[in-house]
Structure 1
Amino acid sequence: MPDEPAVRELRLVVTADDYDAALHFYRDVLGLAERGAFASEDGRVTILEAGRATLELTDPNHAAFIDEVEVGRRVAGHVRVAFQVDDSVATTAKPAAAGAEVIAEPTPTPWNSVNMTRA
């Protein structure tokens, strides 16, 4: 294993049709810190700090199992975005108050995490 990892950052790029609403949700509702913002005649981009990143690979059967445990039915597509927070109940309440669809109440899982809210 090398002293320095070959990959230093995982960056998830989300293309949002309603850029302003997405920025408001991730920056102002979830509280992700703005690290940079750039605009030109070609469009806008904002980079938000989301803490440490990991890449979790799963097969379709396990993805279906995750949905069953966390939500009770199949809801996720090929990409699932998850944020680790200190208080899942309080953190779920903020986006819900801002109009996010709560697809299941916070539910402890066998792997010691709590389910998601969909924006």
Structure 2
Amino acid sequence: MTPHEPPTNPVAQLRLVVETEDFDAALAFYRDALGLAEKAAFQNEGDARVSILDAGHATLELVNPAQRAFIDQVEVGRPASPTIRVAFQVPDAETATRTLVEAGADLVAPPTVTPWRSRNARLNAPAGLQLTLFEELETEEERIQRMGFGTTEDRTNG
């Protein structure tokens, strides 16, 4: 294995499961306004419903309190994050933000260029989720060349 080759991942999919009181409104927001394709939907007795929406490539981003505070300061200008925040990479943060606000999201902070070279917006959305919409402004190869970026392995072996 080369230094930057990831180990084989035994996890095939990350699925975030969110309970919502207004299922139809949340489905319209995430499927229709944000544009997540519906992969499957199931209904059971008593109007029990689930819709599985394809959000593309999934990652789990772990941050410590200091990094969460830094991200909040950059994106919002004040503490704003709950324990869990969902981030969606979009091709155009300005357009996606406008679309989701028109679809019912509350704007927490408009698209802002971050030190890590992305344009991020913060929204409060249906199903009690806080969202970050992010548009990458440089490639991963460009970013990894800058100070402070890389992997934990790079920092410990560096």
Q: Does TM, scored on the shorter chain, surpass 0.5? A: yes
Mapped to 1, the partners of 2:83 and 2:73 lie a distance apart of: 15
Which consecutive unaligned segments of at least 5 residues does structure 1 have?
Answer: none
| Aligned twin of 1:89 | 94
Return the match for 1:11 from 15, 37, 57: 15
Residues in 2 aligned to 1:67 and 1:22: alpha-carbon distance in whole angstroms: 25
Structure 1 stretches of 4+ with a deviation exceeding 2 A read 1-4
Return the structure number with greater helix share. 2
User: Aligned with 2:115: secondary structure?
Assistant: coil
Is the strand fraction higher in 1 or 2?
Answer: 2
TM-score for both structures, normalised by structure 1: 0.93
Separation in 2, partners of 1:107, 1:36: 34
Task: Please identify the structure whose Cα radius of gyration is greater.
Answer: 2
**Residue 39 in 1 paired to residue 73 in 2?**
no
TM-score (norm 2): 0.71
Q: 1:105 aligns with which of 110, 118, 123?
A: 110
Q: Which segments of 5 or more consecutive residues in structure 2 lack a partner in the other structure?
A: 126-158
Percent identity, please: 55
- Aligned partner of 2:29 among 17, 25, 32: 25
The whole-number CA distance in structure 2 between the counterparts of 1:29 and 1:59 is 32
